[in-house]
Structure 1
Amino acid sequence: MADSRGNDSINVPFWNTNLPPELHTKDCPSYLEYAFTNEKDRQMLSTPDSEYRRQTWPEVQQIINDNRLDLFLRVPSDLRRYREYCARLTEEYGTVMAFVMRERLRWKNVQPTAEPFQNPVLIPTQDDYTILHNDWPYGIDTRIVHLVIWTKFELPAEPITAANPIGDLRPEARRQINDFVDKTFVSVCGRENVIWFKNWSSLKSIHAIEHFHVMLFDPDREFVRRITNGDMPLAEKVGKVGEII
């Protein structure tokens, strides 16, 4: 448990939690300084991985059904790696969005060629949308596969106003996504094993590239490999805490 200065109950600064002693630093790394004013993340970064309890499939379903996406958490050391890696991407590519476009999607333009979801499904290389793993999954049951569907076409959200502070999806966009998810995932995995969400406009970590999320409970791995064209999340490719490459 961390106080506002970033020290936990045994006086280890949050930025040193989950690091071996030889990697402890006196000062907070620049990519974690934001946590001084972000209590939720500071508490997570102060938590030993051994004390973290992964969110279950029923809990994941409840979070999404209640539209409380802010309740999703990451394993503490994964949150640190995520923040460190994003900082490195920003330094190298200018923005995380530029990295996603160049290295993950490899799209040369974002102009759609058809109406939303009109290309045949189950083809991972179509022009208008691509299905990839979430590079930095939440701290959920490891049987849950977290995918991201990146689209060139817009999925309109309501404008953010005082009465609508989160910018949730418009009804027509929600219907289009529902139809796509049913045809692509529910038909294979079963409705009880599929759920989707789209981050509120106010929660998006990557703006300007349209995308939404699909979670599958314990799906057939060959289906996942095929639908993602053999993709792997970056979290499985980069180094451990203190070893980001």
Structure 2
Amino acid sequence: MHSAPLPPLLSPGVRRAALLLLGVMLALMSSTLWAHGVNENDKAFIEGASGVNIIPYMYLGAKHMVTGYDHLLFLAGVIFFLYRLKDVGAYVTLFAIGHSTTLLLGVIFDIRANPFIIDAIIGLSVVYKAIDNLDGFRTWFGFSPNPKAAVLIFGFFHGFGLATKLQELTLAKDGMIPNLISFNIGVEMGQFMALTIILLLMNLWRMSDSFRRSAIVANAALMTAGFLLIGYQLAGYFTQGA
């Protein structure tokens, strides 16, 4: 996994490419960064529905995952240097176990935390994975965290982030558990669809001669995006949620 050691200093060309890539990412993120959550139509449905609604909740779960830029950035980082489907499956399974556990338990037992702090930790997970891909922990600190344990632990926080979105709504008690399970199944379906697209694009990129060189730029941009997510969420915490 640690195939791209972190250079002591990026060349001017790489820095320019990183800035260009970062600018594109910011433009794509700017209109949706604060909107990540449950939109008004979905909110109206959830708060007005009663009884078991398996298909609608599966749809909502899938929709939340495929539009969840923070989850997708982390997953992209996780699979960045994974070449075997066996390894991809192992890491994605750990992530799924983590976020499924806290999503279900958080809502069922009404375990609450400030959503801005949870989302800031999710941003931190993106930063962690980018540094790990660049072998920065070993280069800078002389050790490397256990990658599977880290994916599982951050999976818990990603699931808790999903739980905080649902906790902001008034969920009907009638059919809540089947609906939550359906929502979680939808999340897994959305994750599978998004991961399939990411893997296809990643494999096409890996076949290019520039992959090794541009991989450093991509992970530097990924790290920057993670720091931006952290900054936005902490700004929201201090201005709205403290």
TM-score between both structures, scaled by the size of structure 2: 0.28
Higher strand share: 1
TM-score between both structures, scaled by the size of structure 1: 0.28
Higher helix share: 2
The structure showing larger relative contact order (alpha-carbon pairs under 8 Å, at least 6 residues apart) is: 2
